[in-house]
Amino acid sequence: MSDNPGLFSIVQRGMSAQMIRMNTAASNLANAGSVASSEDGAYRPLRPVFEQQLDQATGLSSVRVSEVRQSDTAAIRRHDPDHPLADANGDVWEAAVDESAEMVEIMESARQYQNLVEAMQTAKQLMLETIRSK
């Protein structure tokens, strides 16, 4: 039963990583269609960078988000001379957010999160049944 705190810690780290993944995709969706007056000022989609985290004492491996980066996706230039943010050429720069891909990212991270919740509930139930049988 000494492995259980390690298991719960691993599940918690995985849940945290999936929550960050979901939040970055939601942020990207919220900024889809936003415009700026320059390419540099346009919103760039965010991407979490995952990293393996090894516990030397137990040998257990988990995941963590080492950073959240802006993607290098180029902004989309759109000619709209009537827009208040239009530059001298009448162009605005729109965030290059693929809304379908972001929705898939949200659904996938939600499923992974739910899988981790179920794994934790199963481990908890097994612990309780082990205690009751003694």
The radius of gyration of the chain from alpha carbons, rounded to an integer in Å, stands at 22
Q: What mean pLDDT comes out for the span 62-79?
A: 93
Give yes or no for residue 42 having a pLDDT over 50. yes
pLDDT value, residue 62 = 86
Please state the domain count of the chain. 1
- Three-state DSSP class for 43? coil
- pLDDT > 70: percent of the chain: 96
Instruction: Point out which residues pair with 18 in neighbouring strands.
Output: none
Domain that holds residue 85: 4-133
pLDDT value, residue 1 = 41
pLDDT value, residue 2 = 46
Predicted confidence (pLDDT) per residue in 15-32, tens digit: 999 999 999 999 999 999
Question: Please, which residues have CB within 8 angstroms of residue 117's CB and are 6 or more apart in sequence?
Answer: 15
Give yes or no for residue 100 having a pLDDT over 70. yes
